[in-house]
Structure 1
């Protein structure tokens, strides 16, 4: 089993690519595009669930990148941004597919009402309602895309902030280790100085003792000579 710091990131990224490929097949040439009615809606529901799983994988990639060494992290940040971009494109494709299904349903419903109505103005009224519905749907799609874009930007800024905070924490830890080593060195120097001061006092005491003994001897000698 690969236990390198990048092994989990590579594994999640591989699973994410396979999931995105499955989503693109469903939304591109698969059932999501060519299907009709309930089958197409069911396919889009499956795509929605797969997108939720892909979103969780991207979140996991964002977590795993924090444990990758600084020397190679920039390369993996690029791969993470590519994964987020792929996820955003897939979400947009799903939104477009849903809009197409909704538009088709509106057209189908409108046509059914057109041919069953005896009102000569029904065609214009239904067409107006259809256009209004399509306009509302397109506006909703644009707002959703803008929200997704802002969410991705916010997520990117959050990842950068986390990276900066991690780097600052490492710098603080390094500074703390340096201060601890300096404190130990200061303690050792202080102990050495105290030992030197003690020896100095001891030597001074010995010197004074020798001088006192010599003075006493001189006094004794002089006293004996005088007496």
Structure 2
């Protein structure tokens, strides 16, 4: 198993490209060539794959935090390109949905039944068409708002990950500092012990010298006073 820091990123990117390829095939093929329920089913599959692709981009943004700084710029550019592809296919999917909704509105029974020579649609058909358009616009606004919230959430998650990584580095630095301090304390303790031993040795030597001097003085006094 590849344990390089970019392995997971490359894996998610490969999955993303595979999903985008599948989405492209459906939007260029089934979503245009077929009609009715088959077209709706193809668009539903496209929506699910777009969600999967969005998840792959989120995982790529998480994994890039563990990539070394020297390699990160090129991977950030790859994420930007992936986001651009995802946005483009989301817009294309929305356009196909809008076309399908308009086609269903126009295909309803009675469409054009009340039309006059001055209006291409009857009043009831035009009302339904306007209502459907308003519904699509409202759905588009909600989708854009959801995307905005999702992006903000992703950015907050990335900020949290960066903060946690910084705190981990600070903890590791503090641990290394404590280990160095502990080593220095051990060395200082050993030095103090050596100094204490030398001090005691010097005291013993000094005491021995004093004892010898006293003994010599006594011997000298003995010979002078007794003899």
Q: TM-score, normalised by structure 2?
A: 0.83
Cα distance in structure 2, aligned partners of 1:33 and 1:141: 21
Moved over 6 A (4+): none
- Does residue 1:58 correspond to 2:49, yes or no? no
Cα distance in structure 1, aligned partners of 2:105 and 2:191: 91
Cα distance in structure 1, aligned partners of 2:60 and 2:111: 52
Return the structure number with greater helix share. 1
- Does residue 1:113 correspond to 2:78, yes or no? no
Q: Does the CA contact (< 8 Å) of 1:6 and 1:68 recur in 2?
A: yes
- Does residue 1:149 correspond to 2:152, yes or no? no
Q: 1:82 to 1:159 in 2, by over 3 A?
A: farther
Task: Write the deviation string for residues 33-59 of structure 1: whole angstroms up to 9, x where unpaired.
Answer: 343222211110221222233233223
Cα distance in structure 2, aligned partners of 1:74 and 1:207: 73
| Shift of residue 204, structure 1, vs aligned partner | 2.0
Cα distance in structure 2, aligned partners of 1:51 and 1:187: 61
In structure 2, list runs of 5 or more residues that go unmatched. 115-120
Q: TM-score, normalised by structure 1?
A: 0.83
Task: Write the deviation string for residues 129-185 of structure 1: whole angstroms up to 9, x where unpaired.
Answer: 320221122122122113213312331342133124313422331232133112212
RMSD: 2.6
Cα distance in structure 2, aligned partners of 1:26 and 1:160: 36
Equivalent residue of 1:113, what SS? Answer: coil
In structure 1, list runs of 5 or more residues that go unmatched. none
Across the two proteins, how many residue pairs are aligned to each other? 221
Q: Quote the residue 2:92 is aligned against.
A: 93
Q: Does the CA contact (< 8 Å) of 1:88 and 1:148 recur in 2?
A: no
- Does residue 1:8 correspond to 2:8, yes or no? yes
Q: Quote the residue 1:212 is aligned against.
A: 211
